[in-house]
Amino acid sequence: MLQSFKDSNLLNLEVPKETSRALTEKKLAIAIPASIVADTPHLREKTFKVGLIGRAAAVFRVNEVIIFRDNPWQKQGKELKFVSTVLAYMETPQYLRKKLFRLTPELRYAGILPPLRTAHHPLTDKARHLEIGEIREAVVVSVTEKGVFVDIGVEKPAFIPEARLMVGKRVTVKIVKRDKTLEAILVKPKDISKYWGYQVTTYNLSLGQVLKKRRFELVIATSRFGKPLQKKLEQLKRKWAKAKKALVIFGSPKEGLYEIAKRENLNLDEIVDFVVNTIPNQGTETVRTEEAILASLALFNFLFQD
């Protein structure tokens, strides 16, 4: 079973419910336009491009990937659905994917996606190798009067006593017993101390509308026309240190964020805290979105370590 986003402003996409996230004081989100794959003609290459973005998000501990509609004059439902489905599929542990995703055109080339290898993507597939206290993602496979059984990626399901959940629901659990039967308990985000992947949020809204809807204490836009990062470094460091929720926004392959904002009659400099160029003196005419994400997050990871 799949669960759709419930927010009325969200596109009605069938992707799994977001998982519990890592316990970190700062939450980092990135925002990308629906048209990030518009310059790539073949579905295989589109899939590979989104895969690079998913890997970059996981490598640099991004907690949320936001996808927004960047062209109000075009219907972008297919693009929004494609990008969000591929990213959500990547984030889902391999052993749960068949239960949570149907075979759809968007996932035709899912086999070429790189593995995330995050803490919530364990390689252990035998019950005897499980450790007490181990945390895993799970999906409810059957319901009884005494509780529910969940698939945790080993040869037999784990039992959660007294739980009242629907079949098909994705949950996070902790192994508490490993005898003849496996027993687990539900885990909340505050109980997880490791980076636990990203959630995917898809808005059928423009960039300006997303920034009005969501509140971040620090919003950074990336642009080749922005100020060189080193010129804003001290200001950025101070604000980064105080912010608990930070957002980094990226443009599309064909249009930068200034152009995207201008289409909404907005001044980019007025709706974000900083507009920075993270790749000064670039040797190419354009920088692809996936390249900008990797370069920018690597810089921020180095410069703003807590």
In 10 A of CB 212, how many CB atoms? 11
Q: Is residue 108 in some structural domain?
A: yes
Q: Looking at the structure, do residues 110 and 131 belong to the same domain, yes or no?
A: no
Q: Looking at the structure, do residues 227 and 279 belong to the same domain, yes or no?
A: yes
Structural domain ending residue among the three candidates 160, 190, 220:
190
Q: Looking at the structure, do residues 106 and 241 belong to the same domain, yes or no?
A: yes
Q: Looking at the structure, do residues 205 and 292 belong to the same domain, yes or no?
A: yes
How many whole angstroms separate alpha carbon 306 and alpha carbon 301? 9
Q: Is residue 3 in some structural domain?
A: no
Q: Is residue 149 in some structural domain?
A: yes
pLDDT band at residue 142, thresholds of 50, 70 and 90? very high
pTM above 0.85, yes or no: yes
> In this predicted structure, which of 127-136, 278-287, 290-299 has the lowest mean pLDDT?
278-287
CATH number at residue 220: 3.40.1280.10
Q: Is the pLDDT of residue 163 over 60?
A: yes
By three-state DSSP, how is residue 47 classified?
helix
- The pLDDT score that the predictor gives to residue 306 is 60
Structural domain ending residue among the three candidates 164, 190, 216:
190
Over residues 230-266, the pLDDT tens digits come to 999 999 999 999 999 999 999 998 899 999 999 999 9
Q: Looking at the structure, do residues 211 and 256 belong to the same domain, yes or no?
A: yes
Residues 6+ away with beta carbon under 8 Å from 204: 9, 10, 11, 69, 77, 80
Domain count, the chain: 2
> In this predicted structure, which of 2-16, 62-76, 187-201 has the lowest mean pLDDT?
2-16
Q: Is the pLDDT of residue 23 over 60?
A: no
Q: Looking at the structure, do residues 261 and 132 belong to the same domain, yes or no?
A: no
- The pLDDT score that the predictor gives to residue 188 is 83
CA distance between the termini of the chain: 39
CATH number at residue 139: 2.40.50.140
Q: Is the pLDDT of residue 100 over 70?
A: yes
- The pLDDT score that the predictor gives to residue 182 is 96
26 alpha carbon, distance to own chain's centre: 15
pLDDT band at residue 72, thresholds of 50, 70 and 90? confident
Structural domain ending residue among the three candidates 190, 209, 228:
190
Q: What is the mean pLDDT of residues 171-186?
A: 94
Rounded to 5 degrees, what are φ and ψ at 215?
-110, 120
Q: Looking at the structure, do residues 224 and 293 belong to the same domain, yes or no?
A: yes
Q: What is the mean pLDDT of residues 261-274?
A: 96
Domain that holds residue 184: 127-190
Tell me the average pLDDT of the chain: 89
- The pLDDT score that the predictor gives to residue 103 is 87
Q: Is residue 16 in some structural domain?
A: no
> Among 75, 70, 31, 33, which residue's Cα sits nearest to residue 260?
70
